[in-house]
Structure 1
Amino acid sequence: MHTLNLLLAIHIASSAIRIAQETGIKPLAVAVLDAAGHPLAVLRDEQASFLRPQIATGKARGCLGMGFGGRELARRAHVMPAFFDAINSLTGGEVIPVAGGVLIRNTEGQILGAIGISGDTSDNDERCALQAIDIAGLVADTGDQLAG
């Protein structure tokens, strides 16, 4: 597979929300972006707060913009806060460097897009992303190591 299309993006996003609901994770919003950073699916559990879709999109957009997962973004933001302040100035605050943003790769390692999830702890958000990407038969890249 060389592209992330609408139906696959909806499948990944809805899977993540279903996983959260089934495991008792707080209500989530999920954004799935294509490799160019354009939204394909942005879904919000009806109980998730109104800012969650924007936060989820910022997590995914940061991963795509920098080329690595949210955990690596978080490490770099901690070490280079001025650089990330500059990035957010350039992007109008659209980069959120924390776990819960995950690159989506195919089995050959090509970046197909990214997912961002917001609603619970960053670790729980990321856990839902990893499971949803795995269900879709793709490879998750959190910034630590390829997980999938």
Structure 2
Amino acid sequence: MSDLTLDAAQTIVAAALKAGRALNLKPLAVVVYDARGALKAAGVEDGTSLKRTEIAAAKANGALALGIGSRAIGRRAEEQAYFVAAVSHIAGPAGLVPVPGGVLIRRDGRLLGAVGISGDTSDNDETAAVAGIEAAGLQPETGA
């Protein structure tokens, strides 16, 4: 069973969305999975474009599938395109999106889950994810 509580996951979503508003980002979709890959919490702002939730989910799912933040997956896609393409086929229905915005959630080095955000630039999505994770008193791993 995951140690990522519903309260912590909801804090991540709320704080990430709050950070997005403070930074004047485009409307965001936020998805939080626990370490098993089970959906723990999600929030989608009014005005997000179509499929943002699916993109956010794929960023988080990819981070969990490979055990690294999606920023690192993006670098790996440039270096080993065939590998990342192959993993995207076996990553399950949620998929994989190899750009920043999928951030692992850790506590004292232990993997608790991942958050994925989509809506603005990938770097800004990642900034909001980090803010959400830190607001919950947990440690983000972006793959930087």
TM-score, length-scaled by structure 1: 0.91
Following the alignment from structure 2 to structure 1, what is the Cα–Cα distance between the partners of residues 89 and 129? 27
SS of the residue corresponding to residue 14 of structure 1 reads helix
2:54/2:94 contact within 8 Å kept = no
Q: For 1:16 and 1:93, how far apart are their aligned partners in 2?
A: 21
Name the SS of the counterpart of 1:97 in structure 2: coil
Shift of residue 23, structure 1, vs aligned partner: 1.8
**Within-5 A mapping of 1:1-40:** 3-40=3-40
- Taking only aligned residues, the RMSD between alpha carbons, in angstroms, comes to 1.3
Distance in 2 (CA, whole Å) between partners of 1:80 and 1:89 is: 15
1:36-73 Cα deviation digits (max 9, x unpaired):
11111121001112311100000000000100111111
2:101 matched residue in structure 1: 100
Aligned mates of 2:9, 2:93 — CA distance in 1? 25
Which runs of structure 1 show a deviation greater than 4 angstroms over 4 or more consecutive aligned residues? none
Q: Distance in 1 between matches of 2:10 and 2:135?
A: 13
TM (normalized to structure 2)?
0.93
Give the secondary-structure state (helix, strand or coil) at the position aligned to 2:104.
strand
Runs of 5+ in structure 1 lacking a partner?
A: none
Q: Which residue of 2 aligns with 1:134?
A: 134
Q: Letter of the aligned partner of 1:97 in structure 2?
A: P
Distance 1:117 1:37 in 2: 15
Task: Using the TM superposition, name which of 8-17 and 52-61 deviates more.
Answer: 8-17
Q: 1:16 and 1:92 mapped to 2: Cα distance? A: 25
Give unmatched runs, 5+ long, in structure 2: none
Cα deviation 1:66-120 (Å, max 9, x = unaligned): 00111111111111111111112223570111100100000x1101000000000
- Which structure has more RCO (C-alpha within 8 Å, separation ≥ 6)? 2
For the Cα contact (< 8 Å) 2:33–2:39, is it kept in 1? yes
Q: Secondary structure, in 3 states, of the residue corresponding to 1:120? A: coil
Question: 2:33 matched to 1:50?
Answer: no
Number of positions where the alignment pairs a residue of Structure 1 with one of Structure 2: 142
Asked whether the equivalents of residues 34 and 114 of structure 2 are also in contact (C-alpha less than 8 Å), the reply is yes
1:34 & 1:64 partners in 2: Cα distance? 9
Identity of aligned residues (%): 43
